[in-house]
Amino acid sequence: MRRLAFLLCFALAATAAQADDGVVRRKVGSNFSDTRDAIVSAIESRGLVVSYTAHIADMLDRTGATLGATRRVFEHGETIGFCSAVLSRKMLELDPHNIVLCPFAISVYSLPGETGTTWVAYRQPTGPAAALVAPLLNDISAEAAF
């Protein structure tokens, strides 16, 4: 109970916003490494397995010069993919076209010039899948927001 109250206080302190584009973003007052580790820990504490980590910022940095890019988009940026066999099956039985949501993914990134701030974001599921998957994504991202 104390842990729940603690998490709720921090979840409320973190800025959560859902943009019209269907992406939920949280602004976290923590560094990138700690926030990323908190996301991974929140995933694993639920018995789920991280299936991949996409190193988006590294890829952009690596390919930028070849593409003629001069602006650095991210200071750090990764997308963490993970799955829940139980939720995935339920979601896909409701609508097999929800395969695009598998695996679930949460992005963690920091922007140049935003020292001490990290962003956590995920795509907001829609339709019948939302009731199944949105609470999991919200809870994991909220846990990292403290």
What's the pLDDT band for 127 if we cut at 50, 70, 90? Answer: confident
CA dist., res. 102 & res. 85, Å (int): 10
Average pLDDT, integer, range 46-71: 95
* Residue-range domain boundaries for the chain: 24-143
Strand partners, 77: 109
CA dist., res. 31 & res. 45, Å (int): 21
CA dist., res. 50 & res. 45, Å (int): 11
| Span 80-105, pLDDT tens digits | 999 999 999 999 999 999 898 999 99
3-state SS, residue 127: coil
What string of DSSP letters covers 97-110?
Answer: GGGGGPSEEEEEEE
Residue 3 has pLDDT above 60, yes or no: no
3-state SS, residue 74: coil
CA dist., res. 27 & res. 79, Å (int): 16
**pLDDT score recorded for residue 146:** 65
pTM of the model: 0.84
| Topology annotation, domain 24-143 | TATA-Binding Protein (3.30.310)
Average pLDDT, integer, range 51-63: 97
Residue 118 has pLDDT above 60, yes or no: yes
